[in-house]
Structure 1
Amino acid sequence: MPARPTPLPIAFAAGTLGIALFSAMDAVMKGMTIAMGVYNAMLWRFGAIFVMTAILYLAGRPSMPRRDAMRFHLIRGCVTVVMALLFFWGLARVPMAQAIALCYIAPLLALVLAAVLLKERIGRSVIGASLIAVSGVGVILLGQTQAQMGEEVLLGTAAILASAVCYSYNIILMRQQALLAGPAEISFFQSLVVGGILLLAAPWLGALPPSEQVAPILLAAALATGSLFLLSWAYARAEANYLAPTEYTSFVWAALFGWLIFDETVSLYTLAGAALIVAACILAARRKPGLVAHDAEAALP
């Protein structure tokens, strides 16, 4: 009996909810990074994620992952370490809404990578959209210059842009990985690989978290785990170039959390730059909704 198809809007909704949870996690991680540094914030968060995902994964008595799936677990784990360290270090120095707006170049870059690596079709508008997106980044940087935010903010901005490049590749890996493994397996091995890499530096950089940071660590881990499950489920059911626009919803959450928790305001430059980048990504990603196979294995080439 053929796999029952999943309507793309359902996959899109799951991806959008996953981004909402991830945005909440970003807010928690910003506070943790300010309190105890980016390394220890990531180390303890991934330690908590590993425990949570291990319980969920091992409860199903899984078999050993396939060789090709394990390859993607290792690659994505390595990319995630670099991406996350850059992002959270920058996030501690840049307003949340501005940081998220800069990250919006990642879905556009992912469209190009999807065509190269996944052989997904994209329209001719990608080149023009890329120029629009670059102009959006320029507007945000102009706003920083006008506001004279200082060297720390500029360095944080550079780190976030570098993280966005890594994240564009991560989006592609997410799609490839989701076609080979289930959400529980992906979550477990990502936390295992990332946590293992971070542990290598623990003798020099590791420290016990302050008692008041235990609850934020557990909350960040729970939010990240829930987000990863939802995104893995969605990317197993829809192409990367269809789900990439769900990233844009994070701007609203970032602006809200930044205002409520860190007393941050959103400048007109950030709004204008974000609008240009989002418009560029939507222009490049336009396509008609359809159906894809519910079973991830059915979507394998």
Structure 2
Amino acid sequence: MLGSQCAASEPVPAHSLWRGQDMSPNMRGALLMTGSMAAFTCNDTVVKLLGSEMPLFQILVLRSGLSAVWIYFLARRLGALHLRFGRRDRMLVALRCLSEIGATYFFLTALLNMPLANVTAVLQMLPLTVTLGAALFFGEQVGWRRMLAIGLGFCGMLLIVRPGPDGFTLHAIYAMAAVICVTARDLVTRRMSSHVPSLTVTLATALSVMSFGLVGSLTVDWVPLTTDLGLGLLAASLLVLGGYLFSVMVMRIGEVGFVAPFRYSSLLWALVLGWLVFGDWPDPLTMAGVALVVATGLFTLFRERASRHRG
């Protein structure tokens, strides 16, 4: 889902799928980030629709299997599929796959039972949780301003999930568990060396999620595939591939401080699609929480950029 780390100094390869020579690198990066968020949010919408007629584990197996096929052929075409990296990186890839399995299960379970915009808004905590995790586990310096922003961001998340008299609902807990898993995934990814091809990692992830779905499928009955369900699964797999492709391309274009905030465009897509497709619109208190999460996330990104420039 995430591709916020950009390498402005790394040139776009000759086989890039879109060059956009008439635009500045920052504008191309912003458009690619927006496209990536649109593709992922549209995928979430399709999966939420499929979930009303198909068990989650069946969705995981079929969508991940189709995605793995697309990723494999793309990786082979680009020559980006190999295991020529060390044992440490292989362990990190395995940890990343486990984190992705947890993130996928918790996120999709929450998605099938909560409004699209609410689940998407909770995931906007990621810039804050990754910053906090880097400080706790990697010893990265985080000033008091960013720590204050992280605290306010968590307050915003509480406004979104709003525990009732009996505490958090199970699905709200799942949404927060997804944030923890994605945070772990991103922190593990930071520790990988540059020798590990992105598409190899992505293929391993898709196969891991598919394998998890196969095990889970032993506990549920599959439903027959109709034309509509088959087309929905095909669309979901292509949207995941498109979102990933755009996120890979954005890593090679523009400045991270300029491009990363466009990640929050996923909220706009979620609000619009949630209203048009499911008839959901967040209440004012939820919107206040969304605004607080976004504001603190943007502040954290800008403070991190300022710290890098000073360094």
Q: TM-score range by the shorter chain?
A: 0.7 to 0.9
TM-score normalised by the chain length of structure 1: 0.80
Q: Give CA-to-partner distance per residue, 1:195-225, whole Å, 9 cap, x none.
A: 2233233333362552121111111111111
170 and 95 in structure 1: CA distance in 2 versus 1, 3 angstrom threshold: same
1:77 is matched with which residue?
Answer: 97
Structure 1 residue 60 displacement after superposition: 4.4
Match 1:172 to one of 168, 187, 197: 187
Structure 2 gaps of 5+ residues are: 1-8, 13-24
229 and 156 in structure 1: CA distance in 2 versus 1, 3 angstrom threshold: same
The SS at the match of 2:144 is coil
CA distance in 2, matches of 1:81, 1:249: 25
TM-score normalised by the chain length of structure 2: 0.78
The size of the alignment, in residue pairs, is 284
The within-5 A match list for 1:42-191 is 42-60=60-78, 62-67=81-86, 68-116=88-136, 122-142=142-162, 145=164, 154-177=169-192, 179-191=194-206
CA distance in 1, matches of 2:265, 2:195: 27
The SS at the match of 2:169 is helix
CA distance in 2, matches of 1:20, 1:54: 23
2:33 is matched with which residue?
Answer: 15
CA distance in 2, matches of 1:83, 1:231: 18
Large movers: runs of 4+ above 6 Å:
236-243
259 and 203 in structure 1: CA distance in 2 versus 1, 3 angstrom threshold: same
CA distance in 1, matches of 2:302, 2:184: 20
CA distance in 1, matches of 2:192, 2:26: 19
1:41 and 2:56 are equivalent in the alignment: no
* Greater Cα offset, 54-63 or 111-120: 111-120
21 and 169 in structure 1: CA distance in 2 versus 1, 3 angstrom threshold: same
Structure 1 gaps of 5+ residues are: 293-301
The SS at the match of 2:219 is helix
1:279 is matched with which residue?
Answer: 295
Match 2:264 to one of 228, 239, 248: 248
User: Is the 8 Å Cα contact of residues 100 and 250 (structure 1) preserved in structure 2?
Assistant: yes
Q: Give CA-to-partner distance per residue, 1:151-205, whole Å, 9 cap, x none.
A: 9x92211111111111122233444458343343232222122222332333333
The SS at the match of 1:213 is helix
User: Is the 8 Å Cα contact of residues 154 and 293 (structure 2) preserved in structure 1?
Assistant: yes
User: Is the 8 Å Cα contact of residues 29 and 253 (structure 2) preserved in structure 1?
Assistant: yes
1:32 and 2:50 are equivalent in the alignment: yes
CA distance in 2, matches of 1:181, 1:10: 25
Match 1:231 to one of 247, 255, 261: 247
CA distance in 2, matches of 1:241, 1:116: 23
User: Is the 8 Å Cα contact of residues 107 and 247 (structure 1) preserved in structure 2?
Assistant: no
The SS at the match of 1:163 is helix
Structure 1 residue 16 displacement after superposition: 3.4
* Greater Cα offset, 25-34 or 281-290: 281-290
Q: Give CA-to-partner distance per residue, 1:241-273, whole Å, 9 cap, x none.
A: 886544322111101111111111221112110
Structure 1 residue 25 displacement after superposition: 0.7
135 and 190 in structure 1: CA distance in 2 versus 1, 3 angstrom threshold: same
CA distance in 1, matches of 2:173, 2:128: 18
- Counterpart of 1:167, as a letter, is V
270 and 160 in structure 1: CA distance in 2 versus 1, 3 angstrom threshold: same
Please tell me the root mean square deviation across aligned C-alpha atoms, in Å: 3.3
* Greater Cα offset, 86-95 or 59-68: 59-68
